[in-house]
Amino acid sequence: MRRTRITLADGRDLFYFDERDDVLHDHPDRRELPPPPPASQLRYDPLTDEWVAVAVHRQSRIFLPSADECPLCPSTADRSSEIPAPAYDVAVFENRFPALSARVADDPGEITPFTPVQPGQGRCEVVCFTDEHTTSFADLPPTRVRTVLDALADRTAALGELPGVEQVFCFENRGVEIGVTLHHPHGQIYAYPFVTPRTRAMLAAARRHAERTGGRNLYADVFAAERAAGDRVVAANDHWTAYVPAAARWPFEVHLAPHRPVPDLPALTDVERDAFGPLYLDLLGRFDRLFDMPMPYISAWHQAPVRLDRELAHLHLHLFSTRRAVDKLKYLAGSESAMGVFINDVAPEHAADLLRTA
């Protein structure tokens, strides 16, 4: 894989990841752009011990443009996009409308003695999986999935070295039902200046398990139990297994985990990276065949924090959909949104059976 770094017209970074070593990316960004916005505000919620990002500049971000105005397609002689090259394999660039940024302005201080405020320092990047606008991740060849995985590993390592970054999160949103604003196949990477609430809760549970069991890894033990039970396993190969968690929150929800406990994407071997693509593509195909339509989904990589509790983590991909039937979506209503208590309409065992036969 060949990695090339360029600078966009407003100073943001862009990285090309090419499958051939003879590709030359020497096309400059010819646009006239305003400077990138300053970092958002992070406001602390003392009632939940969580940080909330307030990023008002994101109100003006591009929303569902037509294909001929897509900012993620390659540039042409008549139109310049976010990607200057006329063709590319995988491209990663700093988000033009980031929730987190290293461009920090003055320290905002506090709102009340209970609500400190700090700059939303970090980084947000966009990952373009292909230069083809009308395709999807499920249509990529395994070789391209490997390139995407290598790019995510590369960026995870690089972002983890930035000052103040505590956790790197790679994900893809697909479908207007999920809330995507660009149809071009792409994902995102967030480099947070804190460990996220979900990860903190998982690590706390893992720490309690390690203390009770003499240092055993909680996810590895749960994963082994799911593989042994088998009734919620959807598909597997020599290095990865996809299964529906016994306490799945979403109608169709799958964990895809490597058999070997590793903390993050950079820790995967070449063999493990090669084995991921075919199984993940198979899984995405099953999702789309469930209702004979493109399935909206969120695909989220759970990685260890950059510095803390790395031995407690176990890398896994969390894939889930809001669709519960061909004409019904799962909405987060009172119990889920207000109290955080999920009510699932589809039994995990039934969901696993439907996915196995799809």
Kindly list the catalytic residues. Answer: 186
Collapsing DSSP to helix, strand or coil, 113 comes out as coil
The closest alpha carbon to 314, from 233, 239, 250, 257, belongs to 257
Structure token pair of residue 22: 């003879």
Distance between CA 346 and CA 352 in Å, rounded? 10
C-alpha 20: how far from chain center = 26
Round to the nearest angstrom and report the end-to-end CA distance of the chain: 34
Cβ–Cβ < 8 Å for 108, 117 = yes
At 180 the three-state DSSP class reads coil
DSSP state of 334: I
Contact between 286 and 217 (Cβ < 8 Å): no
Give the C-alpha separation, 231 to 241, whole Å. Answer: 13
Q: What is the three-state SS of 124-167?
A: EEEEECCCCCCCCHHHCCHHHHHHHHHHHHHHHHHHHCCCCCCE
Pairing of strands 233-236, 252-258: unpaired
